[in-house]
Amino acid sequence: MSQLDFHALFWGLAVSIGLSFVIGVVLAVATGIGIAADENIHAPDMSDEEFAHYYLENISETRFIFALVLASLLVNALGGYTAAWLAWEGPYLNAGLTGVLALAFSLVMELRKPALPRWALWMWIAGAVPAALFGGWIAAG
């Protein structure tokens, strides 16, 4: 375990979780702005409950969720890349562990308050560690 680099793990996880959070906020705001600007739905005339219902319908579309999971996997690859790049030794160990920790954090958040459909959750579970290892492979390359 001498190849384990806590500094690299910290920054890899910070990139993975932090950037995922930023992308999620940006997508949520962009979706809200898109709904408000849509001339077909008359957003200014909607009540808060109607707007919230329409907003939830839009962000629960399969295309949106699929794109969100793919973006999360790319961000996880960037986190793995960061961990591998910063590690003095064991780039794959640090990248893979970054993926495992990001996956564990995501699962804890999902168990606390489920937000994803099961297919998207399984897609994230299946791809989180390989994506981080791919990022580590690029960094080690």
pLDDT at 18 over 60: yes
Write down the mean pLDDT value for the chain: 87
With vertex at residue 101, the alpha carbon angle to CA 100 and CA 103, rounded to the nearest 5 degrees, is 65
- Residues 51, 45: Cα–Cα separation, whole Å: 9
Structure tokens at 84: 């591998």
Mean pLDDT of the region 95-119: 92
Percent of the chain with pLDDT over 90: 54
Q: E strand or H helix at 34, and its extent?
A: helix 6-37
| pLDDT at residue number 121 | 92
Answer for the pair 5, 88: CB distance below 8 angstroms, yes or no: yes
